Amino acid sequence: MKIYRLPINTTAYSRLILSSLLLQLSLLTFPVSAQQINPVTTDSLAQQQTVNYPSSFFSKYNPETALDMVKQLPGFQLDDGSEERGFSAAAGNVLINGGRPSAKEDSPSAILGRIPARQVDHIELVQGQMRGVDLRGQTIVANVVLREEIPATIRWETGVRKNLDVDKVTVRGNVSLSDQWQAIDFNTGLSVEKSSTGEGGTGDKFNGNSLLIEKRDEQSIETGYKLGGNLNASGWLGQTLVQLNTNIDRMTEDEPFTSIRTPQSPINRPRQELFNADRKDLQYELGMNAERKLNTDLTGKAILIYNRDEYDEIDTQRSIATTGNQTQYRIADSKTIGSESIGRLEFGWTGMTDHEWQLNAETAQNVLDGTLDQRVDKGLGSVAVDVPGANTRVEELRGDFLLKDTWSFGQFELDYGVGAEKSRISQTGDTDLKRDFFFIKPHMVLTYTPSQGRQTRVRLAREVAQLDFDDFVSSTVYIDDDLALGNPNLRPDTTWIAELGEELRFGELSVVKVTLFHHWISDVLDLLPLSATFEAPGNIGNGKRWGLELESTIPLEWTGLAGARLDLKYRWQDSSVEDPVTGVQRMLSGNKGFGGTPYIKFRDENRYAFIADFRQDFEAARVAWGLNTGMRARRVLYKVNELDIYDEGITLNAFIESTRWFGIKMRLLAENIPDLSQQRDRSSFTGARNLSVVEFREITTGHEGVRLSFLTSGSF
């Protein structure tokens, strides 16, 4: 049994973390008089940069939660933040009472989903660096302002979903309590889900001459459960506002996958390949922040976050001949334990007229321990299989800071500053390596707001990507009979970003937003050839990305559809990088896998993505219905000897909901109505991709099935 311990060392990074934590704790006892954390600004520019939506605006949508309200904000796309290391990049674009929750694993949408709508006083769309709000690269954030006197509320939700193609049912439910105890506002809740779903499909395998050599009939069934709990609380400790955020999730999942493979040659007989993935995951997080006025012009905030993820997966493969005899058995037991410790300080100073200075400093420690035990038995006994780079430990110590000023002059606002990041990444186990990195990160955002209905933005910035520690660790991919090798020599890519955006708002609902962008990327993270047959995530050189995004909310009253609106999102982009295999220019590699709306990934390395949401509310009848459709271009993965293409076409979802009976919201949802196919096109070459002939080609077509869901929710 392996015992996991956090490392203790005396490096300069550790001393920096310790000093930061002590300084943060000192904020709790700094002697000053009680003052408001975020005083409301009455400046005319601030008013033009803030669009206020009172709770009455959302009444026609019959919202149950703060999340329901945020989703109806015109011209706003909810961003839950990334899974990157650190707090700043992962905070998303939602504020609660002017601040970001001190949480990473507990997403903004999950937190909003536990806040009853009756507790929301109003929601502001903030489009500038006013009132101490740090946009952190976002062009717009939503600030959910809660009522001062929060009534005790219990909110509940239940749901059942049936997959019509595989006759599987998923049930889930959650309950949360919001109340006040001795001047402490808190929200606590529990959630549970028992899932059962599946997917069927077919596959064709061709030889290098495009002749069909094998047909496949495939079926996967996925079952499991998820349990979750949370506690969020806030209250005043003297003149200091203290907030606590905790979250824990437990997941188990079993996914058997059967592939019946029928060769087209009479010499070879059909066989079965039986794959199974057994997964267990435990995640928990503890976060705390303290904020107070240090003097009339200076505000300080301290943030502490610790999270841990314990993941265990056992993958097996059984090869069964026509006679029923087992010809091969493979098993891979992989475990990863990851943890992150964050300490962050934020200071805001408003002592200069028309200026607001901000200083942020953050220290973090990230650790990932990965182990893999793989064995194969072909009838002569179990034999251990070594996978290089699979048993390893990766650790990063990082510190960064940001100094910035927001300068308001007339109808213009200039947000400019410079940041720096220094980190050390060390790896032990199968690979022993230690590397240091240092990056300067300047930024500038110029905003022109001639009126509340119009804003023009120009943004220039240098961003540093956060490495995914899983890319350092090797793993097996039985279904493809392949290895996903890790790379200990990864370095973060850096991107110079140029953006030009224009936003127009008309009346209560109409919004049009257009953004043009161009990115210059150094050390592009893509797939790097390691040998004639294997590749790994790596840096392949310099590249570019450019395109545009369009977002719009259109009320449809003029068409005769009372209470109807249409929300549109469209992205087109192109990219270019020199292919390390062929030496010619190509697009950046995309992401593998599928996912239709509403789960479609809007931003990806492909040509385009389009999402349209139609909704019509009959306010008097307390009934609403709507449609959601979307599509995105295919994603291409450029491997050393393979070309892997994923595409799922257009999808369509529909819903109808009502709150007219007993004050309970009832919602009927139909997903993936056309049951369109998800296609994977995999070509394997005899040598280097596109420089040699095709050895074989596999075209796999899958169907997730039509899914019907019935959900009920309410509060009291």
Side-chain half-sphere CA neighbours of 691 within 13 A: 14
Per CATH, domain 158-715 is 2.40.170.20: yes
Quick one: tokens of 592? 């593998």
In angstroms, the CA 337 to CA 370 distance is 7
Q: pLDDT tens digits for 598-648?
A: 567 778 889 999 999 999 999 889 999 999 999 899 999 999 999 999 998
Coil, helix or strand for 30?
A: coil
Q: What is the pLDDT of residue 309?
A: 95
What are residue 48's phi and psi, to 5 degrees? -70, -30
* CA neighbor of 138 nearest in space, from 207, 83, 90, 102: 90
Cα–Cα distance for residue pair 674/672, rounded to 1 Å: 6
Q: Tokens 């070594």: give the residue.
A: 386
pLDDT at position 132 = 55
Q: Cα(161)–Cα(454) distance, rounded to whole angstroms?
A: 43
pLDDT at 133: 60
CA distance 315 to 279: 9
Interval 552-571 mean pLDDT: 93
Q: What pLDDT does 34 receive?
A: 33
CA atoms of 81 and 359, how far apart (whole Å): 21
Report the share of the chain in percent with pLDDT over 90. 57
pTM of the model: 0.85
pLDDT tens-digit profile of 100-125?
A: 777 777 778 888 888 888 889 999 88
- Please give the Cα distance from 125 to 46 (Å, whole number): 11
In this prediction, residue 588 carries a pLDDT of 94
Q: DSSP letter string over 436-499?
A: EEEEEEEEEEEEEEEETTEEEEEEEEEEEPPPPGGGGS-EEEGGGTEEE---TT----EEEEEE
Q: Is 499 a residue whose pLDDT tops 90?
A: yes
Across 687-706, average pLDDT: 91
Residue-level pLDDT at 497: 96
Q: How confident is the model at residue 93 (pLDDT cuts 50, 70, 90)?
A: confident
**338-359 mean pLDDT:** 92
Q: Report the pLDDT value the prediction gives residue 91, as an integer from 0 to 100.
A: 65
Residues 423-468 have pLDDT tens digits of 999 999 888 999 999 999 999 999 998 887 899 999 999 999 888 8
Give residue 7's pLDDT: 35
In the prediction, which pLDDT does 14 show? 40
Q: pLDDT by residue (tens digit) across 9-64?
A: 434 334 433 344 333 333 333 333 333 333 333 345 555 667 889 998 998 888 88
Looking at residue 15, its pLDDT comes to 40
Tokens standing for 622?
Answer: 């307390």
Beta-strand relationship, 392-409 and 355-377: antiparallel
pLDDT band at 81 (very low <50, low <70, confident <90, very high): low
Asked whether 131 and 40 are in contact (CB, 8 A), the reply is yes
CA dist., res. 690 & res. 643, Å (int)? 9
pLDDT score for 467: 83
**Amino acid at position 20, single letter:** S
Contact indicator for 335, 371 with CB cutoff of 8 Å:
yes
Of 523, 636, 517, residue with least CA distance to 577: 523
* Residues 154-189 pLDDT 10s: 999 999 999 888 888 999 999 999 888 888 888 899
Per-residue burial over 506-515, b if 16 or more Cβ lie within 10 Å, else e, is eeebbbbbeb
Domain ranges of the chain: 158-715
pLDDT digits (tens, 9 = 90+) for 61-79: 888 889 999 989 988 888 7
Short-list 529, 452, 450, CA closest to 487: 529
